[in-house]
Chains A and B, each alone.
Chain A
Amino acid sequence: MNNNLLNVIIAGLKLTTPTALASGILGYSAESMQAVAESGAGAVVTKSVGVTPRMGYANPTVVQAKTGLINAVGMANPGINEYIKEISYAKTILQVPLIVSVYGYSAEEYALVSKKAAEAGADAVELNVSCPHVKYTGSEIGQNPKLLRDVICKVKAEVRKPVIVKLSPNVTDIVEIADGAAKAGADALTVINTVRAMAIDAETTLPVLSNIRGGLSGPAIKPIALRCVYDIAECVKTPILGCGGISDWRDAVEFLLAGASAVQIGTAIATEKPSLFQDINRGVTAYVKRKGFRSVNEIVGKSHHA
């Protein structure tokens, strides 16, 4: 979309639209990410990649809840040594920034994978310190301020590209965690990852997900995510990518007003039309114009001064 009004710069990344593809969604192959970019996404985030391949969990890995989805895919990924081929290929076809999501079981692993991703051409890395369903990584790191600080510092020492940190809502005080991440050097924060949840089938009496516990996404978590963005924006200066249940332009605008500089979209890709990104971009443009602003940047954090 050639529309300067929607241009944003976040952590040095130039986005032509403020709507990005969230991690975990369609993020294996360069071609599927390119399809999403062509549909209007301003940036794409890959699936989370680690040092070694992971097969993920047995199905069921995704369960429908009344107003959202619960997933425990289990961070299936081919490992960074294999995935760098896809990163290099993606860079040859993508016109938007490529953000590689990274996980590890130690600060050293996060740093190693981030370094390889950046060398392969990633425009930024997003540290997954918030996946709620894999042991010894993800939110088990993001819930521990000391570990989190160590991870960010080690990655920053290895990588010159922007380092984005994706936060978990499954903490007592997300502002404290965000503040710690900012002080450790995070260039931007993605707020939020999924909310820990589960589903039980009454007839069989069994938990449905093979992993029992997973993460809730979709409209159900939007108000939670919005509050997290608002709270963090109030106290922390680091730019925010809002994420959680965004499925139309009004949701996106609300996140920008709460203090996000851009948003990420995931679950709605399944539930809404293929024109989702374009529809949201158009809706945001119309809103910005109707309210008399020249740029989407002018509405960021507006609710705080209302």
Chain B
Amino acid sequence: MSANLTTLNTLRTTQIVDLKTETDTVKTFTVKDNLCSKAQPGQFLMLWIPGIDEIPLSIQNAGDGEASVTVKAVGDATRHLHEMKTGQTVGIRGPFGTYFTESRGRVLMVGGGTGTAPLLFLAKKLAAKADRLSFVIGAKTKNDLLFLKDLDAVCTEESVHATTEDGSYGLKCLATEPLEKLFDKEKFNIIYTCGPEQMIRKVFDLAEKRKIAMEASLERLMRCGIGLCGSCVIGKYRVCRDGPVFNLAQLSHVKDELGISKLGFDGSVIPI
């Protein structure tokens, strides 16, 4: 058995060492874990909420023996997690999966909802390397816009464009709306994106049309996290193992499913 995978996949119980409330429904949890503290932007971990569930979460920050995840309370598991306090015990496996390449040049990031979390991690790493770092961030309403201040601090000046569906902050539109204009105005070497899959699909269609390199982090229902159970497949790919970060060429193989359908817990095809 590959020693590396066995090590990463072995469950470690550890403590929540820090907890930050980001919005009414989103919190960032930091746990002590040496392996996940070495994670790359785009990778995920499996978080066990003892006695409740175990869920995949994108890593929002890593280093100094710790790793952070940003979690929206949406279901049973995440609601239980939101009730947990600093010092309480959780289980960790990972980090797993592919990660974003760290491209120099002119970079655009498109983040929707909690999909902004892994992009913030990447943006921090790219801040010093990229020639230009622009960010389009989208959310339903002003209070849901995540990490605006952090992004302003790491992105190129006046290059963070916020959109809200209700117009309570920034432009009143979806995050994909300003992209065409942005592409007309500026040349980008690469687009990094994470968020709702319909948003990713639109970014993909635009990137394909304009022949711009792109990487997207996808989300699927996951069980094992190591490429065995088949719960998270999209086309011929396993999101947990061949992804979660896919490039334009890979995404073009899964056009029939990207932003359209996924597998449910019973393995049946359900619309996204």
Contacts and interface: CB of A to CB of B under 8 A. Distances in A.
Contact of B2 (A47, A59, A77, A271): A271
Given A218-B1, A269-B228, A55 B54 contact: no
Interface residues of A, number: 51
Interface in B35-66: 46, 48, 50-55
A239 interface: no
A230 interface: no
B11 interface: yes
Interface string A241-281: 00000010000000000000000001101111000000000
B185 interface: no
Contacts of B53: 58-59, 210
Interface string A77-91: 111001100000000
A92 interface: no
A212 to B, nearest CB: 11
A204 interface: yes
Contact of A32 (B2, B5, B50, B233): B233
A47 B267 contact: yes
Contact of B51 (A79, A202, A206): A206
Contact of B266 (A79, A219, A272): A79
B91 A219 contact: no
Nearest to A204: B50
Interface stretch (A4-12, A62-70, A155-163, A189-197): A62-70
Contact of B1 (A47, A58, A67, A203): A67
Contacts of B238: 26, 32
Interface stretch (B18-26, B107-115, B131-139, B219-227): B219-227
A69 B10 CA distance: 10
A35, A60, A83, A208 — which one has the most chain B CB atoms within 10 A of its CB? A60
Contact of B13 (A63, A69, A204): A204
B89 to A, nearest CB: 6
A56 B265 contact: yes
Given A61-B223, A82-B268, A270-B228, A203 B13 contact: yes
A34 interface: yes
Interface in B203-227: 223-227
A60 B48 CA distance: 7
Contact of B9 (A35, A64, A73, A269): A64
Given A59-B54, A62-B223, A73-B223, A25 B268 contact: no
B266 A201 contact: no
A267 B228 contact: yes
B255 to A, nearest CB: 13
Which 6 A-B pairs rank lowest in CB-CB distance, beginning with the nearest?
A78-B268, A59-B54, A203-B13, A26-B230, A62-B224, A64-B9
13 contacts: A24-B229, A25-B229, A32-B230, A32-B233, A34-B236, A56-B223, A61-B223, A62-B228, A66-B6, A76-B267, A78-B266, A210-B53, A270-B241
